[in-house]
Amino acid sequence: MLEIQGVTKKFKQQTAVDGLSLSIPEGEVFALLGPNGAGKTTTLNLILGFEKADQGSILVDGIDVAKDLGEVRKRLAFIPENVQLYPHLSGKENLAYFSQLAGIQYSDEQLKNLLLEAGLQEKAHDSPISTYSKGMRQKVGVAIAYSKKAKLLLLDEPASGLDPLSSAELSQLVRKVAAQGATVLMVSHDLFRVKETADRVGIFKNGELKKIVKASEVTANDLELIYQGIVV
Amino acid sequence: MKSILSTEWKNLLRMPGMVFVLLVLAAALGFTAWAGLEEYRVVARMETEAKTHLRQQWESMGPSNPHSAAHYGTYVFKKNHALTAFDEGVNGYVGRTLYLEGHRQNELVQSDAAQGDILSRFGKLRPALILQIILPLLLLLFAFQSVRGERDADRVRILLVQGVSYSKILFGKLWSLWIPGMLFVLITLGIQISLLGFSTHLLGRALLLAIGYGLFYWIVIALALWLSSKTEKSYTALSWLLGIWIVWVVFYPKVTYSVAALLYPLPDRVEFSAGMKEDRSALLDGHNPEEEALKSLEDSVLQAYGVSSKEELPINFDGLLMQADEEFGNRVWDKHFGELYQQMQKQKSLVQWASLPNPFGNLQSLSMGAAGTDNFHQVDFLQEAESYRRVFIRTLNERHAYGGSRTGDWGHKEDQEFFNSIADFQYAEPPFLSLISQQMPSLLLLLAWIGLLGIGLAKVKPKISAL
Ligand SMILES: Nc1ncnc2c1ncn2[C@@H]1O[C@H](COP(=O)(O)OP(=O)(O)OP(=O)(O)O)[C@@H](O)[C@H]1O
Ligand SMILES: [Mg+2]
């Protein structure tokens, strides 16, 4: 589903992503785990087409991001680290708007079902998003992904700022999305949450992918690798 | 596009304090529209009354000598254009009543004419003031806020991933602000015009006003959207926008008017009359029949009638003499006024073209022009009044000459019927087409801005704020 081949991205002197190669099959939840400044967000931006790779190629569902960004974006959904949406609109109105932008017009009933599917309780559907918690806003984000039947869901630090309960709920939701056939790439520096959510984990530092391990097999050794140099 | 519009409107309407802002704006417009109409009506009524009264006096003057009547003179009024209720322009402080008299070509020319356009802004409260300064400022702030919101809340990426282009979002925002802005303009104009009474003439001018404001709002909103998308930090755009606004509205007009006045100076009123007097005294004056030039006129008339003295003429030579003097005075006036008018035109076109970096200046010029309250209209009135005065005085002089009296007979009286036959002054405003050609530079400059900003909006790349 996602094929990244030798991708390098430099900002002036700094190399944010350095020769990254990665292949994620359909239905897998993959987590890129790395410290601040590792190049995680940059990697997502490269896939989303907001940054252009200096070298290498990125294919989503067999389509090259550099060649047909429009087609690639049809297959993508993205939930940024701090998902805000339109604060004065309700969850349902936000969902309706974003799906209209993608060219889909849903009925009220369908919108309701999408939000329920994403785990947002019905009583919240019509309140303005400014009253939502981060977890609730993420659910609207997931509903947007559902609404466009995204094949690849990208999440940036989904667990940051969530309490353990919401965090666990989110893990379940992500697993459910994957179980329904979508591929998920999440980036995070939270090992615990990643272990709970992902199938495989890529350990990422200074723009380089150091190691790929099964989530269940992430060891203290790997942890050390990650945190070396960050903590004094 | 429809969904972008409706979402933008929901966002706007649900902004805290929005309803209050709209209410205040509507109230301010309502009040100024009413005040403008009311004042227009009061002034128009007073002028009509004065006019009727003066005409009555004229028509009940009784048998009189034509020359006394020429000195009795008459008043003419520049009928205010009805749209003065919308934009007062220079009307607030230029003379609109002229006293017309024999051998006195009027000197009531605004020597500070070019300054007129700038002073007008501090005139009375009119809808134009709110629609030129306050509403566009609000549109500018909302446009900025709208882009800032997308950037700072990191919505840009989510929007674009949905497959919509950034320029489409920007144009959606543009129309979402432009349409309500125009609603305010159209409703204000609509209400004023329907209360003033429809006429094609008024509608044409209202249409020109609407076009002017429409172009300007487009420019203001597009500029704000473009700049807010362009700057590295979203709030930098706000400083830029407010800076530009102040330059447009305050500094730039002052500078261009001062430069125009320096390059094409106008005589002040004292200089102007002194110059006219000098040229006039160089030749004949109807009350001093000793001049040489006069002699030749006398000779030719005597010759034509085959008599040897003025007293033998079957006509009243004094009438011819006064008309000759009058015509000389007219030539002097034409020369001086022509020069003044040319200087004013030069000033005006300099200011107009120098407004290239200042669409606000173009809007002002368009607005006053279309409302019939700019200097162009004032000067037109002066010229019309002067033409009327010439016909008026010539009629009286000719009657003096050929009305049956003899030279030196200052006591001869014409009956009331003759005086009644002289029509009152009716000011007809300049034709719509000359108005359009006068305003062409402003329209073209506004369109040039729209072209540039349109390209800018289509090309600008979004800033992805979150790292
Ligand atoms: N647009 C940019 N211009 C310049 N440098 C950038 C830009 N985007 C990212 N960088 C740099 O690239 C490096 C990687 O940044 P990135 O945001 O991808 O890290 P990250 O892994 O997401 O970190 P965090 O955990 O803090 O979110 C950082 O050193 C950052 O300063
Ligand atoms: Mg990041």
SS3 state at A10? strand
* Domain containing residue A191: CATH number: 3.40.50.300
Is the beta carbon of A13 within 6 A of some atom in ligand 1?
no
Asked if the structure places residue A16 within a domain, the reply is yes
B305's CB contacts (< 8 A; 6+ apart) are B312, B313, B314, B315
Single out the residue in A106, A124, A144 at which a domain terminates. A144
N-terminal to C-terminal alpha carbon distance within chain A: 39
* Containing structural domain, residue B234: 2-286+328-459
Q: Which amino acid, residue B108?
A: L
What residues have a C-beta under 5 A from ligand 2, the ion?
A 41
Domain boundary among A144, A161, A192: A144
Q: Specify the 3-state DSSP secondary structure of A191.
A: helix
pLDDT-derived band at A105, boundaries 50, 70, 90: very high
Same domain, A15 and A66: yes
- Give the distance from residue B134's alpha carbon to the nearest chain A alpha carbon, in angstroms: 25
Q: What is the pLDDT of residues B3-35, one digit of tens each?
A: 999 999 999 999 889 999 999 999 999 999 998
DSSP A231: -
Q: Considering chain A, what percentage of its residues have pLDDT values greater than 70?
A: 94
Rounded to an integer, what distance in angstroms lies between the CA atom of residue B351 and that of residue B348? 5
Percent of chain A whose predicted confidence (pLDDT) is above 90:
59
**Which member of A88, A100, A103 has the closest CB to residue B11?**
A88
Confidence of residue B139 (pLDDT cuts 50, 70, 90): very high
**DSSP H or E run through A23:** strand A14-24
Please give the single-letter amino acid code of residue A160: S
pLDDT band at B218 (very low <50, low <70, confident <90, very high): very high
Instruction: Give me the number of domains chain A comprises.
Output: 2
What pLDDT band is residue B120 in, cutting at 50, 70 and 90?
very low
Lowest-confidence region among A6-15, A202-211, B275-284: B275-284
Instruction: Identify whether A15 is part of a domain.
Output: yes
Q: Is residue B282 pLDDT above 70, yes or no?
A: no
Q: Which residue of B has its CA nearest to A16?
A: B467
CB atoms within 10 A of CB B417: 9
Alpha helices in chain A (DSSP H): 40-48, 69-74, 91-101, 108-117, 134-147, 164-179, 191-197, 220-227
Q: What is the C-alpha to C-alpha distance for residues B153 and B466, in angstroms, rounded to an integer?
A: 9
Query: pLDDT band at B315, cuts 50/70/90?
Result: confident
Confidence at residue A46, expressed as pLDDT on a 0 to 100 scale:
94
- All residues of chain B having their beta carbon less than 8 Å from the beta carbon of residue A76 are 161
b/e string for B57-71 if b means 16 or more Cβ within 10 A? ebeeeeebbbbebbe
Cβ atoms B127, B36 nearer than 8 A = yes
Distance from the A88 Cα atom to the nearest Cα atom in chain B, whole angstroms:
6
Question: Looking at the domain assignment, is residue A81 inside a domain?
Answer: no
State the average pLDDT for chain A: 89
User: How far, rounded to the nearest angstrom, does the alpha carbon of residue A190 sit from its chain's CA centroid?
Assistant: 14
pLDDT of residue B101: 74
Please give the structure tokens belonging to residue B25.
Answer: 């704006």
HEC states along chain B? Answer: CHHHHHHHHHHHHCCCCHHHHHHHHHHHHHHHHHHHHHHHHHHHHHHHHHHHHHHHHHHCCCCECHHHHHHHCEEEECCCCHHHHCCCHHHHCCCCEEEEECCECCCCCCCCHHHHHHHHHHCCCCHHHHHHHHHHHHHHHHHHHHHHHHHHCCCHHHHHHCCCCHHHHHHHHHHHHHHHHHHHHHHHHHHHHHHHCCCHHHHHHHHHHHHHHHHHHHHHHHHHHHHHHHCCCHHHHHHHHHHHHHHHHHHHHHHHHHHHHHHCCCCCHHHHHHHHHHHHHCCCCCCCCCCHHHHHHHHHHHHHHCCCCHHHCCCCHHHHHHHHHHHHHHHHHHHHHHHHHHHHHHHHHHHHHHCCCCHHHHHHHHHHHHCCCCHHHHHHHHHHHHHHHHHHHHHHHHHHHHCCCCCCCCCCCECHHHHHHCCCCCCCCCCHHHHHHHHHHHHHHHHHHHHHHHHHHHHCCCCCCCC
If asked whether residues A63 and A156 sit together in one domain, one would say yes
Higher pLDDT, B340 or B294: B340
pLDDT score recorded for residue B243: 95
Are A32 and A43 in contact by the 8 Å Cβ rule? The answer is yes
pLDDT at B108: 52
Q: Say which amino acid occupies B268.
A: D
* Residue B46 CA: distances (Å) to CA of B49, B53, B194: 5, 10, 22
- Tell me, yes or no, whether A222 and A168 share the same domain: yes
Within 10 A of B331 (CB to CB), how many other CB atoms are there? 13
Q: Which tokens sit at A148?
A: 């466009």
Angle, alpha carbons A130-A136-A141 (nearest 5°): 95
| pLDDT tens by residue, B349-379 | 888 888 888 999 999 989 999 988 888 888 8
| Shared-domain flag, residues A67 and A155 | yes
Asked whether residue A202 is domain-assigned, the answer is yes
Asked if residue A221 and residue A154 are part of one domain, the reply reads yes
Other CB atoms closer than 10 Å to residue A98's CB: what's the count?
28
CA distances from A98 to A181, B3, B11, B205 (A): 22, 9, 14, 43
- Evaluate: CB of A37 within 6 angstroms of ligand 1: yes
More confident residue, A196 or B79: A196
Q: Which has more confidence, B326 or A222?
A: B326
Cα gap B414→B321, rounded to integer Å: 19
Q: Which residue has the tokens 């290498």?
A: A56
What is the spatial distance between Cα B322 and Cα B395, in angstroms, rounded to a whole number?
12
Could you say which ligand is closest to the alpha carbon of residue A10? 1
Q: Higher-confidence residue: B115 or B422?
A: B422
Q: Do B154 and A80 touch (CB under 8 A)?
A: yes
Q: Which domain holds residue A213?
A: 2-75+150-228
Q: Ligand 1 within 6 A of A167 CB?
A: no
Lowest average pLDDT, out of A72-86, A107-121, A176-190, B291-305, goes to: B291-305
Same domain, A36 and A127: no
Closest residue by Cα to atom 8, ligand 1, is B467
* Cβ separation A97–B153 shorter than 8 A: no
- The reply to whether A90 and A47 lie within a common domain is no
Check: CB of residue B333 under 8 Å from CB of residue B325: no
Report pLDDT for B334: 85
Mean pLDDT of chain B: 84
B158 with A82: Cβ contact below 8 A? no
Are A69 and A155 contained in the same domain?
A: yes
CA atoms lying within 13 Å on the CB side of residue A201: 25
At residue B186, the pLDDT reads 96
The pLDDT value given to residue A71: 92
Whether the ipTM is more than 0.85: the answer is yes
Residue B384 pLDDT greater than 80, yes or no? yes
Instruction: Report whether pLDDT(A75) > 70.
Output: yes
- The nearest CA of chain B is from the CA of A111 a distance in Å of 16
pLDDT for the residue numbered B109: 46
Distances (CA, A) of A58 to A30, A44, B38: 16, 11, 70
Q: How far apart are CA A169 and CA B203, in angstroms?
A: 64
A48, A82, A98: residue with CB nearest B154: A82
A212 and A162 part of one domain:
yes
Distances in Å between the Cα of B411 and the Cα atoms of A43, B184, B400, B414, B431 are 106, 64, 11, 10, 44
pLDDT of residue B446: 95
Q: What is the pLDDT of residues B27-42, one digit of tens each?
A: 999 999 998 888 888 8
CA separation for the pair B257, B114 (Å, rounded):
7
CB–CB contact A73 B3 (8 Å): no
Supply the angle between the helices B252-263 and B359-370 in degrees, to the nearest 10.
70
How far, in Å, CA of B284 to CA of B324, rounded? 8
Residue A117, SS3 per DSSP:
helix
Q: Is residue B26 a part of any domain in this protein?
A: yes
Cβ distance of A97 and B3 shorter than 8 Å: yes
Ligand 1 atom having least distance to the Cα of A38:
21
**Which residue has better confidence, B230 or B289?**
B230
Nearest to B154 among A84, A98, A99 (CB): A84
pLDDT in tens, A133-182: 999 999 999 999 999 999 999 999 888 888 888 888 999 999 999 998 89
Asked whether B31 and A104 are in contact (CB, 8 A), the reply is: no
Task: Return the pLDDT at B117.
Answer: 45
Q: Is residue A21 part of a domain?
A: yes
With a cut of 50, say whether residue B341 has pLDDT above it: yes
* pLDDT at B283 (0 to 100): 55
Residue contact A148–B162, C-beta within 8 A:
yes
Query: What is the sign of the dihedral through the CA atoms of B15, B17, B20 and B25?
Result: negative
The answer, yes or no, to whether any atom of ligand 1 lies below 6 A from the CB of A82, is no
> What's the CA gap between B239 and B229, in Å, rounded?
14
Contact A115/A90 with Cβ under 8 angstroms?
Answer: no
Pairing of strands A183-188, A29-33: parallel
Query: Given this model, what pLDDT does residue B170 score?
Result: 96
Tell me which of A144, A160, A184 is where a domain ends. Answer: A144
Please name the amino acid found at residue A96.
Answer: A
Residue A80 lies in a domain: no
What is the percentage of chain B residues whose pLDDT exceeds 70?
A: 91
Buried b (16+ CB within 10 A) or exposed e, B187-224: ebbebbbeebeeeeebeebbebbbebbbbbbbbbbbbb
Number of domains in chain B: 1
> Which residue is closest in CA terms to ligand 1's atom 31?
A37
Q: Which of A98, A130, A152 to mutate to test the interface with B (most CBs of B within 10 A)?
A: A98
CB contact under 8 A, B163 and A103: yes
- Note the pLDDT of residue B43: 82
Q: Are B405 and B323 in contact (CB under 8 A)?
A: no
In a domain, B464, yes or no: no
DSSP string for residues in A140-189? HHHHHHHHTT-SEEEEESTTTT--HHHHHHHHHHHHHHHHTT-EEEEEES
Q: Which of A74, A89, A99 sits opposite B10 (nearest CB)?
A: A89
